[in-house]
Structure 1
Amino acid sequence: MFNSAVDNFTGFAPLGTVLVTMLGVGVAEWTGLIASTLKRLLSNVPAFLLSASVVFAGIISNIASDVGYIVIIPLGALIFAGAGRHPLAGLAAAFAGVSGGFSANLLVGPLDAIVVEIANEALSSAGINYEMSITANWYFMVASTILLTIVGALVTDKFVEPRLGEYKGDYRPDFESLSKVELKGLRNALIVLVVYAVIMGILMFPQGALFRSYDEALGTESINNFLSSGLLLGIFLLFVLPGLAYGITVGKIKNFF
């Protein structure tokens, strides 16, 4: 066991995938980009979308692992209290989004990388010549995100909050709004994200694009090979580049150049 411990660790198929993905997400989380984005998402939300926004923010927070439990759940209670609604309803809505929607998202994340690589390892061990792509569950994840947001909001508004009764407390949180520097950081991160998305689109979708290759099964060019082999680095850069832009702007990252 001791002699093969290192080989078992380095030979574990999901290891490289998870490390690359988490490095990208880690940069975005460490610079504060993810937390600021979630706060911005939940600020100035129309009253009729409040429950849906809290649930949705809880769902997409799993892209940064457990950050939702730290940021979104207490923030949901504060936002509901600030709107004059029962804070326990906000807490419940946020918890439902974070926990109930932990595997759903609009983006492919670290959890998908882990599950897909484990599945591929199992397929290989069983002698099955098939390799799943990291985007295999993407459509299901997106549909689940939308469905869970709607259901979570309806349950909060129609069942949970009415049973809690009218909120008679006089507590109104003094929100610490994002500073001008943080807002500028979010703007710069968004600009970098849009530019990156445009560049990736140019490299992927036009006929003869760099990331397209001949697919024998389809008999034509496709991006299937890139989706199965190269998308992981694309996801890494999707978080790293905006994270760097935000971190440099707010001063979290210094002496970068």
Structure 2
Amino acid sequence: MPQHSPATDLLGNPLSLTDSTSWRLVDDFVGGFIACEARAANLALTPHFDPDPLVQAYCATLQMFAESADAVANARPFIQRAQAGAAQATPRERRYIAAVAAWVAGDIREAIRLHEEQAREFPRDLVSLKLGQYHCFNLGDCPGMLRLALAAAPHAADVPYLHGMLAFGYEQCHLMREAETSARRAIAMERKDPWAHHALAHVMLTEGRLTEGLAFMEDVSETWIGLNSFMVTHNWWHLALFLIDLGRDDEALAVYDRHCWGVVKDYSQDQIGAVSLLA
């Protein structure tokens, strides 16, 4: 991706930010979010307050991704501040704020509608795109996942993580050749793209390419550093599935012990992965 000016995020989207510390934290959020990296959370973990509406909306996003019983209550003050200051935001930022507000309010279909609008009007807002895909996945709307990524594809082909998002959308729609092509394109551009690894693992497992899939995941596993807990445990989970299907149960259990359980024990996604692997 090219160097960006202080007036834009690292994907070239104009920003309303005025706080210099927030520039760095927003870059961490945007870059970390689309790459499934833990640095996305720096925005919430750094003791720095900025009332900027986009910063507040991104903080609300992080609170909601906790997927905990109190996630909505924790996110609400952030999204309320974002809405209160939305008049100073750019049109892209205002739509993102509205989409997160719909999520906090429990109106997931409205959130998806807004993310789809965003993908058409501001196709390089890949944070919005990835969040929209998350909602579509949770509703079982596989065509929606793909539709979001396809809208951005002509405008963000230089971003490797876009191709990973495309790959998983294709795979969920059972378009395996397109999925593999997109995943391999992402990996050729950025070897450390865990979402593309994940999509290709889906393809190989679906097609029964067990030995090849295991070798691939073992090869790229060295790049699974600095990821959020879901992504790192989930990719090791996929590696363990290949081992199980190959009859190598003891090795799969060792992967479980070392990599799939214990990263963030109170996170629901990590819990689900660990329990399902033992089932």
Shorter-chain TM-score bucket reads under 0.3
Query: Bigger relative contact order, structure 1 or 2, given CA contacts below 8 A and separation 6+?
Result: 1
When Rg is computed on C-alpha atoms for both structures, the one with the higher figure is: 1
TM-score normalised by structure 2 residue count: 0.25
